Amino acid sequence: MIDAESLNAGGSIPSAPQLCVAFRPAMPIHIAITRRVRPGCEAEFQQALREFFQGSFAHGGVLGATMIVPPPGSDSREFGILRTFADEKERDAFYASPIFKACENKCEPLTESGSWSQRPLHGLEAWFRSPHNPPPKWKMAFATFLGVFPLAMILNLTLGPPFANGRLSRATLSSTLPLLRYWRGS
């Protein structure tokens, strides 16, 4: 009789947990990038980014890209880029690609030095961004509300004395908005 332990010792059959890891589908990687553009270079930077976006989809692992521009009439010169990759390997290959390096060379004189930042998106912020069956906006709002409202309710019940002269629901709703802003990161 052959048992799994004796076969594993020889390395011929992986254990069940190893099999699960080996066959787990890769999850998309979501990256948020911000860059501050030099004064007067906003339109040129935006055009360069549009051209780069069009060319970047030639790279097979790029699943999505979104440009976030400063609000009209604001003094902000910070542009955001949300980019989605099939997996970490595709992300790394993209950032090492000639397409990306050419865009970096073109955009470098248009942006302030040291203003480039990049961070991965996780949890709900990545789920909301996923190109594979993203939930409808009403579900995203509802899921966020379900996460924030009970926490705000607990905070108001435990820290309620400052809100003692008002109604609990009004106090809870008024504390929900700051929590949403905090969780959103702004």
What pTM does this model have? 0.56
- pLDDT for the residue numbered 117: 84
- pLDDT for the residue numbered 47: 94
Residue 178: give the domain boundaries: 137-184
- pLDDT for the residue numbered 78: 92
- CA-based angle 90:94:100, to the nearest 5? 170
How far the first Cα of the chain sits from its last, in Å, is 62
Same domain, 96 and 175: no
- pLDDT for the residue numbered 72: 87
Divide the 186 residues of the chain into consecutive groups of 10 and give the mean pLDDT of each group. Answer: 43 46 64 92 93 88 89 90 90 92 92 86 60 66 80 76 60 64 51
Same domain, 123 and 80: yes
What's the residue count for the chain?
186
Domain boundary among 103, 129, 155: 129
Residue 11 lies in a domain: no
- pLDDT for the residue numbered 2: 40
Domain boundary among 112, 129, 146: 129
